[in-house]
Amino acid sequence: MLYTENKPIDEILQSLGKEKNIFLLGCNGCAEVCQTGGEEALSAMKAELEKAGKKITSTCLVDFLCNKMLVTTRLSRQRDKLQQSDSILVLTCGIGVQAVSKVVDKVVHPAANTVSLGGLQGLWPSDERCQACGDCALDYTGGICPITFCAKSLLNGPCGGAKNGKCEVDNEKDCGWQLIYERLQKVGRCDILKKVRTARDHGKMLPSSELRKTSFYDIENPA
Amino acid sequence: MKLAECFKQGKFVITCEVGPPKGIEIDKLIDELEPLRGKVDAFNVTDLQSSVMRVGSLATCRLLKDRDLEPIMQMTCRDRNRLGLQSDVLSAAVLGIENLLCLTGDHPKLGDHPQAMPVFDLDSVQLLSAVKSLMNGKDMAGNDLEGRPPQFTLGAVVNPGADPLEPQIMKMEKKIEVGAEFFQTQAVYEVDKFSDFMGKVKRLNVPVMAGIVFLKSPAMAKFMNASVAGIHVPDDIINELASVPKEQRVKKSLEISARLIKQLKDLCQGIHIMSLGWERHIAAVLEMARL
């Protein structure tokens, strides 16, 4: 199971910026167990955002947001609502956010930080990977993870080593930053790349002592 | 003249790259730089270039300093975390190094220890920012440095041939925002393309030094075209080099470089020569280019 924690609401509001119409998309898998996705988390987030003056165009719950087929099927029924939305706030792990970003041409914002991949995997169907860095950067990179897609896990843009869009480490692998740039161009958000990203806090990768005390954690570590 | 002073006076700055040896006999390398005294303003000492383990930049910079040659210490993020990097920045200041050039660095997989852990705790923007912070008397964690803080002239790199170019320029702007004072570029062979790039970054008002790499053979040019990011040697240059008999290749290669320098001179604020072992030919090229 992938453990996630809610991002602070201030950080979420900051990432939504001036966007007014928000589509809420929650995961009913691991995130539901962690109370970052699921029905209750969606309602709580809806209330918080409405309090902050946002309009919620729709709330949608999908069993496993990491499954792109499932996401595509569910969201196709909400095409109108999606069109009316400025962006999608995704209440799930880093893989789920990336999967949504891959199938919808809308700005996606993560609502949670993934802090541990746990002992059991959620569905993990494709290229999207999460290192559980504990400080999800997907908001800034168009829903494509710079930590797992870039061979050097760079946060401030391409290293300059890519040739014909392929990584210097493996010429059959796409340059993560080229994908990020193309994605941001597509959703009209290249401006966010101008912001200097400060160095990562690697301490956030360690599961906190609070998390290690939870029953979820115990389930996967039978005595 | 110090590098900072060269930029201050608006001089057309000439730097060249020095690759430390894989082994401890370093005198030959330093002796080869002697003819460049007074002709080259500063010497970039690479930091395990191409991810190949060898003598370090810091020690080599100090040896140049001892000979009264101006060193630029290159620092990459490949193999040291923020503790190691910041400590080496302080060590550099203690040893009298006054110029740093910060870059991401090649991935270890490209070098002679492909099994090594890629570190990249910081990226080039964050490294520049960390150095700037040390120059203001604080480390990255916000702790005060004791006494007088170090001072450096800070350089960075940009690849004018990158495709797409826009993310490179955005990153260049971030580097300037956090403290980069001058830029050296990847090798340039297409003057028009470089001119377009300079047009786009003119507003940033920062000295840019065009990269020159000596073409040792047509095969090397073709290899770079196929494998090195942002480098494209046009066919007419490759054909020109291939048109002469082997024994005249060196002469022809130097002519090509001198001609490029002349064409680039009015477009930028300096040149950075990466001679890749042909240090002995740099003086001749500068003379041919009338620098």
Q: Which residues contact B172 (CB under 8 A, 6 or more apart)?
A: B156, B158, B180, B183, B201, B204
> Alpha-carbon torsion A170, A171, A174, A177, what sign?
positive
Indicate whether B172 pLDDT > 90: yes
A205 chain-B contacts, CB cut-off 8 A: none
In this prediction, residue A195 carries a pLDDT of 94
A40 closest CA partner among A20, A61, A54, A56: A61
Give Dmax over CA atoms of chain B in angstroms: 62
This model of the complex carries an ipTM of 0.91
Tell me which of B115, B119, B134, B171 to substitute to probe the interface with A (most A C-beta atoms closer than 10 Å): B171
In this prediction, residue A122 carries a pLDDT of 55
The DSSP 8-state label assigned to residue A58 in this structure reads E
Q: Is the domain A3-211 a CATH 1.10.10 member?
A: no
How sure is the predictor about B234, in pLDDT bands with cuts at 50, 70 and 90?
very high
How close B27 gets to chain A, by Cα (Å)? 32
| CATH of segment(s) B3-288 | 3.20.20.220
* Kind plus residue range of the DSSP H or E element containing B57: helix B57-66
User: Does A160 contact B157 at a Cβ distance shorter than 8 Å?
Assistant: yes
Query: What's the full length of chain B, in residues?
Result: 291
How close A43 gets to chain B, by Cα (Å)? 38
User: Does B120 contact A152 at a Cβ distance shorter than 8 Å?
Assistant: yes
Residue B95 CB neighbours (<10 A) = 15
Kindly list the distances between the CA atom of residue B37 and the CA atoms of A71, B210, B286, in Å, as whole numbers in the listed order: 66, 21, 12
In this prediction, residue A123 carries a pLDDT of 57
Q: Would you state the structure tokens that stand for residue B232, as one six-digit string?
A: 């494209």
Give the chain A residue whose CA is nearest to the CA of B140: A199
In this prediction, residue B263 carries a pLDDT of 96
In this prediction, residue B291 carries a pLDDT of 83
**pLDDT tens per residue, range A21-77:** 999 999 999 888 889 999 999 999 999 999 999 999 999 999 999 888 899 999 999
Domain limits, chain B: 3-288
B180 chain-A contacts, CB cut-off 8 A: none
User: Does B167 contact A199 at a Cβ distance shorter than 8 Å?
Assistant: no
B2 φ, ψ (degrees, to nearest 5): -65, 155
